[in-house]
Structure 1
């Protein structure tokens, strides 16, 4: 599960260590989501044989919806990480700092 940003800090205030940790956690979340989608796809890829139950299809659809929500959350986490990296790069390349 992705960590919550430190209270009182904006996304751009994360340390490089925090950014690295968040990136690793988000990557793990994306890999896990991919695994879940693979399972759901396998169920749906059967082209719904005559013996497929409505419950199986409904469960596969619900699984993909859960994964979609997790991936949206992961995208937000990556945007936070990117903002921190952008700030860090700007600070290191800005001659006024």
Structure 2
């Protein structure tokens, strides 16, 4: 679905005010590049890409939200898969 939206056109529409806001969970390039203007736009909500509701969906979503909120606040976060320069941290 990420290719359905022209991200540059979306960004321009959001910046000009012709579109008031957007909520996104997929992008043209995934993961969304760290230099994408979408990250810093106050009228954009970015959520994890989730395929559907499973029996533990709500519990898992709440866990992800709490972890991301702690990271946003600058509190310690224990990442499951830490990657540095394209390598997992636990690889030799």
Classify the TM-score, shorter chain: under 0.3
**Richer in strand (by share):** 2
TM-score scaled by structure 2?
A: 0.26
- Determine which structure has the larger helix proportion and give its number: 1
Task: Give the structure-1-normalised TM-score.
Answer: 0.25
Larger gyration radius, structure 1 or structure 2: 1
The structure showing larger relative contact order (alpha-carbon pairs under 8 Å, at least 6 residues apart) is 1
